[in-house]
Amino acid sequence: MKKIANILIAVVLFSQFANSQDYSLSQMNESPILLNPANTGLTYPIRLNLNYRQQWRSISKPFNTIIASGDAKILSQGRSGSSLGLGLLVVNDEAGTSKLNTLNANLALMGKVMLNEQQSLSAGIIGGLMQRKLNLDALTWTDQFNGTNYDPGISHGETFSSEKRMAPDVGVGMQWSYGRGAATLSSNDAVGAQLGFAAYHVNMPNTGFHEDDDRRYVRFLVHGSFSYGIKNTPLQLNPVIIIQKQGPARMFYGGTYIKYRLQESSKYTGNLLTRSLNAGVFYRLGDSFVTILQLEFDQFAFGMSYDINLSQLTTVTYGRGGMEFSLRYIPVKPSKGNTLL
């Protein structure tokens, strides 16, 4: 009985948590458009990202999130000039037993101006369609109890005006970026910083399944990152902070990556590209402890992370949170080593 009571408490807590915020990643920097549309086409000529996250398998049908994005720099005036960026972001999220599915397809546009040789300011807008779909047949109902056991052949008697909802979705963002020095094995004196603000669902799309409006809260996000090369060593530190607010829900996420540069790109031939091993330790306030390991190999970067649950859900999760994978590919060989964003 105690175990059943703990599960019921966890389900209530989890339901409140799930209804209060969007999907979120532990490797947010590996989905740069989702972090801030002002990142679209900001750094590389072309960049492709793929993310997969699965969580809460220990207490329900797992929540699965797949995020794919691609962005490119267009109409660029060179490294010291202004540029535009164009991107595509697609998110497919399926939550729990009801298979509540959210599908987002968005186009993003970014404009960047150089403030001086070391600083730039970028602004982006992202917009598209959000579709939510609910599978009522995947749920069990009290009306399907025949007095002895559960009988799926009995009608659940529940009706919704619609099991699918589609609505336009719009977001905006701005980011200040700074960079100087060289991230090479010989000097390794590069310093970089990013500070950004984004707001998603600014039009508060209606995502409910009833006749009444069920408007999604605007999600506000502030993020900051800093990269610092330790001279005469192959090490680089990359601390990151992300703060989000969506309705009554708040999230504080912070920690640092440690980058160990295994190989730098060849200066003249371009036959060799940067290779590095990155390890990260992060904390999501009141929720989880996150460990991240990433390998950057030439034009590819592969990362994996695990969330160790620390919230009240540990009553039934025993610390088991979520596994996440990321893949980045840069088709065009970049003229500089991989950066955090």
Helix H or strand E encompassing 10: helix 2-18
Name the one residue in this structure whose structure tokens are 């893949």.
Answer: 327
Task: List, for residues 33-91, the tens digit of each pLDDT value.
Answer: 999 999 999 988 999 999 999 987 766 678 899 999 999 999 887 766 789 999 999 99
Task: List, for residues 247-293, the tens digit of each pLDDT value.
Answer: 999 999 999 999 998 877 655 445 456 789 999 999 999 888 999 99
Record the tokens describing residue 178, joined without a space.
């700074």
Phi, psi of 37 (to 5 degrees): -60, -15
Residue whose C-alpha is closest to residue 311's, from 289, 286, 291? 286
Residue 222 pLDDT > 70: yes
Residue 220's pLDDT is 97
Other C-beta atoms lying within 10 Å of the C-beta of residue 41: 29
CA 24 to chain centre: 5
Question: Which of helix, strand or coil describes residue 217?
Answer: coil
Residues 6+ away with beta carbon under 8 Å from 296: 274, 275, 276, 277, 278, 338
DSSP string, 85-121: EEEEEEEEEEETTTTEEEEEEEEEEEEEEESSSSEEE
Per the prediction, the chain carries an average pLDDT of 82
Stretch 91-111: mean pLDDT = 88
Q: How far apart are CA 278 and CA 94, in angstroms?
A: 30
Residue 22 pLDDT > 80: no
- 174 strand-pairing partners: 123, 197
Domain limits, the chain = 2-329
Record the tokens describing residue 227, joined without a space.
């990269």
Please give the DSSP secondary-structure letter assigned to residue 147: S
- 304 strand-pairing partners: 293, 325
Q: What's the pLDDT band for 208 if we cut at 50, 70, 90?
A: confident
Question: Which of helix, strand or coil describes residue 137?
Answer: helix
Residue whose C-alpha is closest to residue 316's, from 33, 104, 7? 7
Strands (E), the chain: 46-55, 63-74, 83-95, 100-114, 119-133, 164-180, 191-200, 219-229, 235-246, 249-263, 275-284, 288-297, 300-309, 320-329
Q: Round to the nearest angstrom and report the end-to-end CA distance of the chain.
A: 49
What is the CATH architecture of 2-329? Beta Barrel (2.40)
Q: 2 or 77: whose pLDDT is higher?
A: 77
Residue 144's pLDDT is 67
Q: What's the pLDDT band for 159 if we cut at 50, 70, 90?
A: low
Residue whose C-alpha is closest to residue 138's, from 59, 61, 208? 61
Q: Distances in Å between the alpha carbon of 168 and those of 51, 126, 195, 336?
A: 23, 11, 28, 38
